[in-house]
Structure 1
């Protein structure tokens, strides 16, 4: 088991291949977006990579873990090649992560995507407990109750139906995100909207830049709401493989309770529908009963659960 502050390109390729093999075997990938992007990032304080190779070989990666430390909490993800499971590699990766953490770290959190039995068994054996559950919800847009009218100035090809007309709060307008102009304002609103979120609220300019550099990024699909005082909210849509996603939707606290969040939800869905998207996914924490209830009322169904396991150190 080797430990690294950063990874060369050839190692990143092997880990991505490992992730693909796990996804084929499990029906779900082992890493979230943050972990995947961090594979090719330069060294950063608190981030460590753990690589397990096939015995007597420096070539084949059969296990990988990544851990990031923020304050007194460490967060990790790991994967073991399907053909090398049930040999103690997963246990070894978890224990290597634990052993690497300094005395100031008091809690370790590990994501397990898909809530698979094998992950639950490993977590239980190593003293972890279920700490958080993230739902993936999905629905088709066929039969969606679209509003009968949109605010003036919005695209004319957005779908309409028999639902209540969408109205923006007084003095608020919508436009696409402008790269090179809106980054700081977006980060401010994102931080305020997700102040209590353990991951989303901590995004940096580097995190935002990484997403903007992704092939799927489309500034037209990042709709921002503004008034004369600045940005009030946004709906960032994502399209990959013909499936749309409510990627991030945030409202500044000064605009909460105005109906802006519901309006932003609808305009993002309409933008995707107007571009031929027929299925939309989104993610919501199980603990956020209000959001889950809202999305369920709009016809979204829970199709997957990701579990974050926690362990005091």
Structure 2
């Protein structure tokens, strides 16, 4: 078995195909998106035997402070042969080389959880997936008085400018065990939906909601960040923005929209349920200290 870094576009496409096979219920980043995220902090691996791909791995600086995220995945027909263990050890070594003290991982099935716990990972957070099935175009309530809603692409630079006030508040509000540490670069690259609707008051962003489109499954999309600034909560702005994204999805041939919400975010879970989302899956976030035993 050989484990090598992804270098060529063909490597990246093979990496994508492993994720599509193992996580078919979520969108997988396109080749262009993966390439846009290239950095010395990120490691993408492929495990092969001869010309056969066995699995892949991802390690990078996590958005949780002082942590590195690791994701070893093995195709079902090649499991229980030590491939996942070999991948995990190389991924952990990469995180250690970044000077980070903690490893983080996410699982959504029992075999993956058992594998992680064998290596000393312990649960730190839970979240649920909620899914909205679109059959007709949803109604959209009006935005609150004083709010103008625009698409981010109509106002270039506005998303980046929102980072200091709106972005930092939105990130602080996540119900997680460790505060998020998201740079302006990652805010700009990873947190902007397409489309992304921005609610403006006096020219500043007071709320947002959008979608991540799925190039492999064009009828499916993931909700991107939905957030409202504290001084605008309780006025129906979050409902308007979420309904607006669902209406856009319906008008563009999307029939399923899903989102992940943390255990502690009861307000967003309640909003999603009120809009008609159904709970479809549970995810578990785990963590452990380095070095990996």
Give the structure-2-normalised TM-score.
Answer: 0.78
2:90 corresponds to which of 72, 86, 96: 96
List structure 1 runs of 4+ shifted beyond 6 angstroms: 198-201
Partner of 1:154: none
Q: How many residues align?
A: 278
Compute the displacement of 1:109 (Å). 0.6
Q: Structure 1 pair 50/133, CA: closer, same or farther in 2 (3 Å)?
A: same
How far 1:11 moved relative to its partner?
A: 1.7
Cα 1:50/1:268, change in 2 over 3 Å? closer
- Greater RCO, CA 8 A, separation 6+: 2
Q: In the alignment, what sits opposite 1:15?
A: 15
Contact 2:127/2:260 (8 A) holds in 1? yes
Distance 2:143 2:21 in 1: 46
Write the deviation string for residues 277-300 of structure 1: whole angstroms up to 9, x where unpaired: 444322211231222122223321
In structure 2, the partner of 1:156 is: none
The answer on 1:248 being equivalent to 2:241 is: no
* Residues in 2 aligned to 1:87 and 1:231: alpha-carbon distance in whole angstroms: 51
Is 1:73 aligned to residue 67 of structure 2? yes
How far apart in 2 are the matches of 1:187 and 1:134? 25
Distance 1:62 1:199 in 2: 35
In the alignment, which of 132, 145, 153 is matched to residue 139 of structure 1?
132
In the alignment, the residues of structure 2 paired with residue 136 and residue 293 of structure 1 have an alpha-carbon distance, to the nearest angstrom, of 13
Deviation at 1:202, TM superposition (A): 1.6
Q: Which runs of 5+ in 1 are unaligned?
A: 148-165
Deviations 1:195-227 (A, max 9, x none): 244798726446634787xxxx75xx4222112
- Deviation track 1:106-141 (CA, whole Å, cap 9, x = no partner) reads 2211122xx222212211211112222232211334
Return the match for 1:202 from 182, 194, 208: 182
Distance verdict in 2 for CA 1:139–1:146, change over 3 Å:
same
Distance in 1, Cα, partners of 2:103 & 2:69? 6
**2:46 is the alignment partner of 1:51:** yes
Cα deviations by residue, 1:74-97 (Å, 9 ceiling, x for unpaired): 111121122221101112222232
Instruction: Say whether the 8 Å CA contact 1:21–1:81 is kept in structure 2.
Output: yes
Aligned residue number for residue 82 of structure 1: 76
Say whether 1:183 aligns with 2:183. no
Q: Which structure 2 residue ranges, 5 or more long, are not aligned?
A: none
Q: 2:143 aligns with which of 168, 184, 198?
A: 168
CA contact 1:251–1:261 (8 Å) conserved in 2: yes
Distance (whole Å) between structure 2 residues aligned to residue 10 and residue 140 of structure 1: 34
Alignment RMSD (CA, Å): 3.4
SS at match of 1:16: helix
Q: 1:238 to 1:125 in 2, by over 3 A?
A: closer
Kept in 1, the 8 Å contact 2:128–2:281? The answer is: yes
Aligned residues of 2:128 and 2:261 also touching (Cα < 8 A): yes
| Partner residue, 1:126 | 119
